[in-house]
Homo-oligomer: A and B are copies of this chain.
């Protein structure tokens, strides 16, 4: 059984030409050279450090040390700290977006075994999008620096959660049209779906920390169950039996 497959999106190197700054002020890189490694490890270390210590709390020297390069190398690739930060944000958003659409493609089409299928979908979403390092980065940094650098995250605000929401809404509407769900407002239902499957993560004393894989799975299943209690259409034949059953353990 292949489990929640991680859409491994690795960073591509920008093409050719030495020291020509692109839109973000970073120099292009000959692919395959050591430069690519360096740049990757810089972006990686910067993401980790910015996420841990915030923008102002992070020093270039710290990033350099953590990336295993000299400070000057960072300045060779990125004009200044803000440009580096922008590049990190871009990279993380691109990765997360790619993961997002890969996962959206796995949304269940058939309505048999809906609980298990939706739970698997929600688990994938949690593990590879909302609760991994990239998700943590976006969550923390948007909270912390979103107001100071509105233009940086505007793209994400518009394309990130909103797009997941409407994408899930469309797929929920499809299930509703197929007779499996009873949904008035698909957009609202999508938001509530996302809220429910992450419910356990936000209110159990572990604010702002990454949940474990187990916690993600449990939260997803719990959320899907309640979501289906609210929106699933029970078969008319066994409606009374279902209701009696579901009420029995109260």
Binding site for B on A (CB under 8 A): 52-57, 139-140, 142-144, 146-148, 153, 157-158, 161-162, 164-165, 176, 181-184, 188-192, 194-196, 198-200, 202-209, 222-223, 226-227, 229-231, 233-234, 239, 243, 246-247, 249-250
Task: Evaluate contact between A230 and B239: CB separation under 8 angstroms.
Answer: no
- Which residues from chain B contact A200 at a C-beta distance below 8 Å? 188, 191
Minimal beta-carbon separation of A191 from chain B (angstroms): 5
The answer for the CA separation of A52 and B144 in the assembled complex, in Å, is 8
Is there an interface contact between A52 and B142, defined as CB atoms closer than 8 Å? no
Copies of this subunit: 2
Q: How far is the CB of A145 from chain B (nearest CB, A)?
A: 8
Separation of A157 and B229 alpha carbons in the complex (Å): 30
Question: Could you tell me the distance between the alpha carbons of A57 and B229 in the complex, rounded to whole angstroms?
Answer: 46
Find the residue from A54, A161, A209 having the highest chain B CB count within 10 A: A54
Considering the chains assembled together, what is the distance between the CA atoms of A113 and B77 in angstroms? 63
Once bound together, how far apart are the Cα atoms of A234 and B244, in whole Å?
11
- Known contacts A195-B196, A200-B188, A230-B230; A54 and B52 CB within 8 A of each other: no
Report the separation of the CA atoms of residues A18 and B205 in the bound assembly, to the nearest whole angstrom. Answer: 38
**Shortest 7 CB-CB contacts between residues of A and residues of B:** A195-B199, A230-B230, A229-B230, A56-B57, A143-B208, A195-B195, A162-B205
Give the CA-CA distance A73 to B212 in the complex, in Å: 45
Q: Which residues of B contact A234 (CB under 8 A)?
A: 243
**Cross-chain contact A194 with B199 (CB below 8 angstroms):** yes
A161-B246 in contact given A54-B56, A192-B226, A195-B195 (Cβ < 8 Å): no
